[in-house]
Amino acid sequence: MAATLRGSAALGLKKLRIGMIPADGVGREVLPAAQRILEALGSRIPKPEFEHLDAGFEFFTRHGEALPQETVDAMQNDVDCALFGAVGSPTRKVTGYSSPIVALRKKLNLYANVRPVHSITGLDPRPVDLVIVRENTECLYIKQETLTTTEENGKEARATRLITERASKQIGRMAFRIALSRARAGHPAGLTIVHKSNVLSTTDGLFRESVLAAGKENPEWQDEGKIQVSEQIVDSMVYRLFREPEAFDVIVAPNLYGDILSDAAAAMVGSLGLVASVNAGDTFVMGEPVHGTAPDIAGLGIVNPIAAIRSAALMLHHLGYTGPAQDIERAVVEELREGIKTRDLGGKASTEEVVAAIEKRL
């Protein structure tokens, strides 16, 4: 897992106020599962209090807005952390709609999407133990697009890609902190910077230079006995990730590359239904399972809740509650080894059966 938030803001609280944003599709099933597991921790964490918050495409279709100001205000003022379920983003253009998860990342400066991907010894044939640190606020995800018509080309669609020194250094610092937390005596952590600066020399070149510059800010980060820095062009990175995942430890990438790489990495450990993430800034963290809304199985009670449960554990870890987070992860791994699996993993267990089994172990 990754390093905790600077200041460990939630430590010392008598209660832990958690914003719950189920949003769309199976998000409304996996977030209650995560809530049950957090409640099962008992006195190991401050008493959790859950506040339901609205957002999502379905909310947009009813109310004309995807992210109500009430949700933003609650996230900024009323809760200590949050969990996000899944959001539906239509492939066609819908006037007035934009993704609420992208907006929340920007409004709360959750500049890092941290996605640990690791195999389970005895279940997965390939050793995978890596963390993808994805810049969360820029790149093509600023959604500045234009559509014009010319006599020569007909319709022309253009998208603006934004890479800044500030954001790139910020994600670089997060990646170096995470790498340092994974270093062990005699076993330095690896930090791979992913880019395409051989083609996109201005934008990706700035990302590369800024991350490298961030690494010079702390003497510990420059110690090759603790962190060994390398670079990888994004297309060859995808190839090597599938060929030799054991070669990678911490991977830092711009927004779009990080999104693609983390979904690809999930394929090596069995399912998107297993992979957790957090959207983290320096003072706030929001857990989010990597999977989408899965409309084909929504409401059937068969969705895999483990990604959401692990996201809750990762959220706790970032807040400084490392022991309870490890308890959740241990219970999940033990159940997977026992053979209880949902359909995405080749089993027949229902969502309720998986939650109850993990709950019992806690």
**pLDDT higher than 50, residue 1:** no
For residue range 256-268, what is the model confidence (pLDDT) as tens digits? 999 999 888 988 8
Task: Identify whether residues 320 and 350 lie together within a single domain.
Answer: yes
Q: Which of 269, 300, 330 is the last residue of a domain?
A: 269
pLDDT band at 11 (very low <50, low <70, confident <90, very high): low
Q: Do 142 and 90 lie in a common domain?
A: no
Q: Which of 206, 238, 269 is at the close of a domain?
A: 269
Residue 21 φ/ψ, nearest 5 degrees: -120, 85
Range of the domain at 67: 1-111+282-362
Computed over every residue of the chain, the mean pLDDT equals 92
223 shares its domain with 151: yes
Tens of pLDDT along 32-84? 999 999 999 999 999 999 999 999 999 999 999 999 999 999 999 999 999 99
- Helix (H) or strand (E) run with residue 330 in it: helix 322-338
Are both 169 and 246 inside the same structural domain? yes
Residue 116 is assigned to a structural domain of this protein? no
**Domain containing residue 88: CATH number:** 3.40.718.10
Residue 117 lies in a domain: no
* Residue at token pair 């090759």: 224
Report the C-alpha gap between 56 and 171 in whole angstroms. 27
Neighbours of 362 (CB within 10 A): 17
N residues, the chain: 362
- Domain membership of residue 217 (yes or no) is yes
Domain-embedded: residue 42 = yes
Q: How far apart are CA 16 and CA 19, in angstroms?
A: 10
Residue spans of alpha helices (H) in 64-118: 69-77, 100-107
Same domain, 260 and 142: yes
Domain count, the chain: 2
Same domain membership, residue 323 and residue 217: no
The one-letter code for the residue type at 6 is: R
Q: Is 237 exposed, middle or buried (0-12, 13-18, 19+ CB in 10 A)?
A: buried
What values do phi and psi take at 202, rounded to 5?
-85, -55
Asked if the structure places residue 225 within a domain, the reply is yes
pLDDT, tens digit, 9 for 90 and up, residues 220-240: 999 988 999 999 999 999 999
**Separation between Cα atoms, residue 38 and residue 120, nearest integer Å:** 22
Is 99 a member of any domain?
yes
Judge whether 118 lies within some domain. no
Are 261 and 309 in a shared domain?
no
Last residue of a domain, one of 243, 269, 295: 269
Any residues with CB less than 8 A from the CB of 64 and at least 6 apart, and which?
A: 96
- Are 141 and 214 part of one and the same domain? yes
Co-location of 64 and 104 in the same domain: yes
For residue 292, being part of any structural domain is answered with yes
- Co-location of 256 and 357 in the same domain: no
Q: Measured between alpha carbons, how far is 44 from 330 in angstroms, rounded to an integer?
A: 15
Question: Within this chain, do residues 258 and 139 fall inside the same structural domain, yes or no?
Answer: yes
pTM of the model: 0.90
Q: How far is CA 110 from CA 14, 138, 216, 307, in A?
A: 25, 11, 23, 20
Q: What own/partner pairs with CB < 8 Å and gap ≥ 24 does 220-223 have?
A: 220/180, 221/176, 221/179, 221/180
Q: Are residues 171 and 245 in the same domain?
A: yes
Secondary structure class of 292 (helix, strand, coil): coil
| Whole-angstrom distance, CA of residue 359 vs CA of residue 349 | 15
pLDDT digits 0-9 by tens, 93-149: 888 898 999 999 999 999 999 999 998 876 666 789 999 999 999 999 888 889 999
